[in-house]
Chain A
């Protein structure tokens, strides 16, 4: 639905509206631990090397604070095999291992101990589909004058499936995330596309031949889909057609003091990745 929202806003702005960047005074909420524990396993590789990032939250407009969290204890256990993977503190907010063993449909549990409080989350590793085709077009997409890249993959019919697609153009600062569920397309070949447009305000530029875009397709759990969907809806939220923004709650629960919950998510995924160069 985000796409429809974009179009509705597009319509309104075509008509009359005026956009300007303004200063807003904001209140500061409590500083929280941020757990970015994304154990992502590229299909066809061993997936031993993994990083978990620990940071803190900051005031919304803050750019100065060093947010890296050091001195925490981080480990992941495979609840099916009871194998434990200890992540080493790199003293820059990153905690790493080179011994992780991903096994499909196994359930993993993360434990982070920080400032005497224990945070835990669990997640199951799901099979990622292969990408059937990647191609480009102009006529399709939102704007029939801008290039877009199309991605096709097969959705299995027997269960509900959820996907995360990440598009990243080489040289860009930010990547773009798409949450996809098979709700309306169960059992079919799923089509997703990524198109950019020229926008002076945001500095975005439409694709031109020679541009390289990295496409990553993750198989994700339903709960993570719900998480990333809210996250996606809320990046650039606040327009008249968007939903009321809410606190996004991940799956890392503070077992010691539930009120002092952490941001971020513990996900374990399999993914496929392709690089596409526009012609």
Chain B
């Protein structure tokens, strides 16, 4: 019956095309730098025929034969109006000029035109462009993509100085983070203080918190799709900045007679240059850098090649004791091919790697671990007619994980050489999805993704007594590691374990009137890779592990409904969403688990489940000298880990407990006020319920020490987190005719110097022997100044 409906939808749209119809297709770019514009609107005035450009700036629009006024618009740009006679299929390219305000700095948050944003069935998506991100106040003046998305409803972090972000109560490893389609395994520099995305190289970001399109898969919580700029294809330009922590430089230029262009952007911290001068820090080195590259070449009207890459590195040496470096490297070669004005394709070959190395001098140990993947992807976009767009594609990812190789650093080292088993896996996926305008008011998004995961051989696999890697000790009431019964060798050609899942994705929107709509969606997604971390903060040392015999894939089902309203001719928008998410096979760790250097991770974990639900409200002011938004989230996120095969009640006595990412209330307020041509002011305010933690509920003396006893897991909370940031941007702009443009950004982070608790630790004072609670807070009030230029 379900299939019957689908067939009906398809047929009905084909029947509707029976009258004579023609298509207009083409690409939309920025007139000044040739950057393709994503999400620009193209529609025929006075009709409901309209569309938006895809991620390559491509559009295709089909309408009945006739004379029309075509309107091309994009926020922050001048609108193009053109008469078209639609009597044949035609290709039209457009180049939009930036809106005439002197410096294009009025931030207008809503990117899509009135018609599409509430009409599109896509929901639970948040978009920010690089300009918006740059205008938000940032800690130490370092513009940060990850921190800026945390201002959106449903997105939080785990406190200052913690890596990653959490979407709708999900864990950091449940976010698929893509930089030009390549997976980024660690999004942070400096252990989470800054993110790996250099805002100078970023065109825009899209965060899917739910209703994830069928073309994405592999993570159960969200997709953060970050796109790099293509590079200026009109003229050479140079931009950069000098901040307190890092400096940046980006060069862009046309290539081969404007048939191509490139972007090279670099960013490096330079605090370490001063460290030798400080007595306490003279042997230390803490630094990071990253490099972004993108280039493209238009072979002809219908074929274009893109090459993009990223390389980032963190180095952190603490005297001679510890030497540590880690980073991501990615590369992507893409071929865009336009078959005709309705059929568009993209082939991508993607490589991505994350590795870390740590040398511990005091134990003479050298540790290396990495994760690599090779990905081939082919996507087709078919604009069947104006009411139906079909996407389909196929993807294959080969993973190679090296969880750790330990080497002694000297002859005298007590360390034995150890190499943990390398792990291999293949993740294949097929998808088809359709965006379907059923009636004037009702639109549907429906898709199906099939994913298949094979854990490949080339390693030994332990089998356990009674098939129990973890055993519950009934007497002592603790979980203990199971005993290995035997080891089976799997050859490289063999498959250890195979999983396959169908992942339906359905979304619906109903336009109630000109200015409001309701939407609903259901998404099922599967995650085969898991980040092992039993600490409250993700660290660079955490190890990714694939699903297999003992670790099952995580499966999530998310339901969401939303209400969208435009007020005062779209000067204000209101978005209201509520969601419920259920995740199966979320792992948690037995008490005293030891994850590092462990070849048999399955002896440390239990399979559990998680659920999260909440309400999100977003009110935005989109136009005028004052723009900004207020986001409020009321939510709950909890998990439960039963004993299962291992026996016993499970973790926390088998009861539900808060995940570390549970925040009851989360309020974010962000605003930009454009004072005049030279000055604009911006501000952030954040209030969040404190992070769930476990506090002692008693103490006893043992070995002459005071030992804390603990109650239920995550049943206490840190004090609420709140802070206010302000910044001012000053553009001297004395000579508007000159190419050289500059700006100063003055910022104050945490204006009222709130000492937000990053953690509260409990211990005994060494001199008094008394128990005390010590709060660590990381950023107090921090002023900053940054100078940016553009040439």
Tell which of A56, A139, A184, A245 has the most Cβ of chain B within 10 Å.
A245
Is A138 in the interface zone, CB < 8 Å from B?
no
Asked whether A174 lies within 8 Å of B591 as measured between CB atoms, the reply is no
State in angstroms the CA–CA spacing of A223 and B591 once bound together.
Answer: 13
Q: What are the 9 tightest A-B residue pairs by CB atom distance, in nearest-first order?
A: A203-B767, A238-B761, A29-B697, A236-B763, A57-B700, A240-B537, A246-B591, A34-B700, A230-B592
Query: Residue-by-residue, is A228-247 near B (CB-CB < 8 Å gives 1, otherwise 0)?
Result: 01110111111111111111
Chain A interface residues (CB < 8 Å from chain B) = 1, 3-4, 7-24, 26-32, 34, 36, 38, 55-63, 67, 139-144, 166, 172-175, 177, 183-191, 193, 199, 202-204, 223, 226, 229-231, 233-251, 253, 258, 261, 263-265
Asked whether B773 lies within 8 Å of A185 as measured between CB atoms, the reply is no
* CB-defined contacts of A246 to chain B, threshold 8 Å: 591-592, 694, 710, 713
* CB-defined contacts of B415 to chain A, threshold 8 Å: 184-185, 188
Contact of B596 (CB < 8 Å), options: A1, A14, A60: A1
Asked whether A34 lies within 8 Å of B763 as measured between CB atoms, the reply is no
State in angstroms the CA–CA spacing of A79 and B779 once bound together.
Answer: 58
CB closest residue in chain B, given A62: B699
Is B695 in the interface zone, CB < 8 Å from A?
yes
Taking A141-B362, A243-B535 as contacts, is the C-beta distance between A36 and B702 under 8 angstroms? Answer: yes
* CB-defined contacts of B537 to chain A, threshold 8 Å: 240-241
State in angstroms the CA–CA spacing of A166 and B704 once bound together.
Answer: 11
Taking A1-B596, A185-B416, A235-B707 as contacts, is the C-beta distance between A22 and B698 under 8 angstroms? Answer: no
Min Cβ gap B139→A in Å is 9
Contact of A249 (CB < 8 Å), options: B477, B696, B700: B477
State in angstroms the CA–CA spacing of A3 and B280 once bound together.
Answer: 20
Query: Residue-by-residue, is B746-763 near A (CB-CB < 8 Å gives 1, otherwise 0)?
Result: 000000000100111111
Asked whether A263 lies within 8 Å of B700 as measured between CB atoms, the reply is yes
Is B162 in the interface zone, CB < 8 Å from A?
yes
* CB-defined contacts of A193 to chain B, threshold 8 Å: 362
Min Cβ gap A269→B in Å is 12
State in angstroms the CA–CA spacing of A253 and B477 once bound together.
Answer: 9
Asked whether B281 lies within 8 Å of A191 as measured between CB atoms, the reply is no
Is B263 in the interface zone, CB < 8 Å from A?
no
Is B20 in the interface zone, CB < 8 Å from A?
no
* CB-defined contacts of B406 to chain A, threshold 8 Å: 184
Asked whether B539 lies within 8 Å of A8 as measured between CB atoms, the reply is yes
* CB-defined contacts of A173 to chain B, threshold 8 Å: 766-769
Contact of B766 (CB < 8 Å), options: A139, A144, A174, A239: A174
- Beyond contacts A16-B779, A30-B698: 17 other A-B pairs, Cβ-Cβ < 8 A, are A28-B697, A55-B700, A140-B362, A173-B767, A175-B703, A187-B416, A189-B414, A204-B766, A226-B592, A230-B592, A236-B761, A240-B159, A241-B537, A244-B714, A247-B709, A248-B591, A263-B702
Asked whether B707 lies within 8 Å of A263 as measured between CB atoms, the reply is yes
Asked whether A234 lies within 8 Å of B711 as measured between CB atoms, the reply is no
Asked whether B771 lies within 8 Å of A186 as measured between CB atoms, the reply is no
Asked whether B699 lies within 8 Å of A57 as measured between CB atoms, the reply is yes
CB closest residue in chain A, given B711: A29
Contact of A235 (CB < 8 Å), options: B281, B534, B705: B705
CB closest residue in chain A, given B591: A246
Contact of A203 (CB < 8 Å), options: B418, B705, B716, B765: B765
The interface stretch among B313-321, B447-455, B491-499 is B313-321
Q: What are 19 A-B pairs at a CB distance below 8 A?
A: A7-B322, A16-B780, A17-B776, A17-B777, A20-B774, A29-B709, A30-B698, A59-B698, A173-B766, A175-B704, A184-B597, A187-B416, A204-B767, A230-B592, A233-B592, A234-B707, A236-B763, A246-B710, A247-B591
Asked whether B318 lies within 8 Å of A10 as measured between CB atoms, the reply is yes
Is B775 in the interface zone, CB < 8 Å from A?
yes
Taking A11-B316, A246-B713 as contacts, is the C-beta distance between A240 and B536 under 8 angstroms? Answer: yes
Query: Residue-by-residue, is B529-545 near A (CB-CB < 8 Å gives 1, otherwise 0)?
Result: 00000111101010000
Contact of A7 (CB < 8 Å), options: B321, B660, B701, B762: B321
Min Cβ gap B481→A in Å is 9
Asked whether B702 lies within 8 Å of A264 as measured between CB atoms, the reply is yes
* CB-defined contacts of A143 to chain B, threshold 8 Å: 319, 321
Asked whether A174 lies within 8 Å of B705 as measured between CB atoms, the reply is yes
Asked whether A202 lies within 8 Å of B767 as measured between CB atoms, the reply is yes
Asked whether B713 lies within 8 Å of A244 as measured between CB atoms, the reply is yes
Contact of A4 (CB < 8 Å), options: B190, B322, B660: B322
Asked whether B414 lies within 8 Å of A60 as measured between CB atoms, the reply is no
Asked whether B758 lies within 8 Å of A240 as measured between CB atoms, the reply is yes
Taking A14-B284, A243-B535 as contacts, is the C-beta distance between A235 and B699 under 8 angstroms? Answer: no
State in angstroms the CA–CA spacing of A239 and B759 once bound together.
Answer: 5
Is B360 in the interface zone, CB < 8 Å from A?
yes
CB closest residue in chain A, given B764: A174
* CB-defined contacts of B695 to chain A, threshold 8 Å: 24, 26-27
State in angstroms the CA–CA spacing of A158 and B204 once bound together.
Answer: 59
Is B631 in the interface zone, CB < 8 Å from A?
no
Asked whether B286 lies within 8 Å of A11 as measured between CB atoms, the reply is yes
Is B614 in the interface zone, CB < 8 Å from A?
no
Is B99 in the interface zone, CB < 8 Å from A?
no
* CB-defined contacts of A239 to chain B, threshold 8 Å: 759, 761, 776
Asked whether A19 lies within 8 Å of B322 as measured between CB atoms, the reply is no
Contact of A28 (CB < 8 Å), options: B322, B539, B698, B707: B698
Query: Residue-by-residue, is B591-627 near A (CB-CB < 8 Å gives 1, otherwise 0)?
Result: 1111011000000000000000000000000000000
Asked whether B161 lies within 8 Å of A12 as measured between CB atoms, the reply is yes
CB closest residue in chain B, given A261: B477
Contact of A22 (CB < 8 Å), options: B363, B536, B774: B774
State in angstroms the CA–CA spacing of A30 and B760 once bound together.
Answer: 23
* CB-defined contacts of A142 to chain B, threshold 8 Å: 319, 321, 362
Tell which of A14, A190, A229, A243 has the most Cβ of chain B within 10 Å.
A243
Min Cβ gap B637→A in Å is 15
Asked whether A242 lies within 8 Å of B536 as measured between CB atoms, the reply is yes
CB closest residue in chain B, given A250: B476
Is B96 in the interface zone, CB < 8 Å from A?
no
* CB-defined contacts of A223 to chain B, threshold 8 Å: 480
Asked whether B191 lies within 8 Å of A7 as measured between CB atoms, the reply is no
* CB-defined contacts of B320 to chain A, threshold 8 Å: 139, 144
Is B708 in the interface zone, CB < 8 Å from A?
yes
CB closest residue in chain B, given A164: B703
Asked whether B775 lies within 8 Å of A244 as measured between CB atoms, the reply is no
Min Cβ gap B99→A in Å is 40
Min Cβ gap A6→B in Å is 10
Taking A174-B766, A251-B476 as contacts, is the C-beta distance between A60 and B771 under 8 angstroms? Answer: yes
Taking A29-B697, A230-B592 as contacts, is the C-beta distance between A248 and B707 under 8 angstroms? Answer: yes
* CB-defined contacts of B774 to chain A, threshold 8 Å: 19-22
Min Cβ gap A38→B in Å is 8
* CB-defined contacts of A22 to chain B, threshold 8 Å: 760, 773-775
Min Cβ gap B774→A in Å is 5
State in angstroms the CA–CA spacing of A231 and B148 once bound together.
Answer: 39
Is B7 in the interface zone, CB < 8 Å from A?
no
* CB-defined contacts of A21 to chain B, threshold 8 Å: 772-775
* CB-defined contacts of B161 to chain A, threshold 8 Å: 12, 240
Query: Residue-by-residue, is B657-677 near A (CB-CB < 8 Å gives 1, otherwise 0)?
Result: 000100000000000000000
* CB-defined contacts of A264 to chain B, threshold 8 Å: 700, 702
CB closest residue in chain B, given A20: B775
Is B634 in the interface zone, CB < 8 Å from A?
no
Tell which of B320, B536, B541 has the most Cβ of chain A within 10 Å.
B536
Contact of B773 (CB < 8 Å), options: A4, A23, A204: A23
Is B114 in the interface zone, CB < 8 Å from A?
no
CB closest residue in chain A, given B533: A243
State in angstroms the CA–CA spacing of A144 and B693 once bound together.
Answer: 35
Is B18 in the interface zone, CB < 8 Å from A?
no
* CB-defined contacts of A234 to chain B, threshold 8 Å: 707-708
* CB-defined contacts of A3 to chain B, threshold 8 Å: 360, 362
State in angstroms the CA–CA spacing of A24 and B759 once bound together.
Answer: 12
Asked whether B770 lies within 8 Å of A253 as measured between CB atoms, the reply is no
CB closest residue in chain B, given A16: B778
State in angstroms the CA–CA spacing of A24 and B708 once bound together.
Answer: 14
State in angstroms the CA–CA spacing of A229 and B534 once bound together.
Answer: 15
Is B300 in the interface zone, CB < 8 Å from A?
no
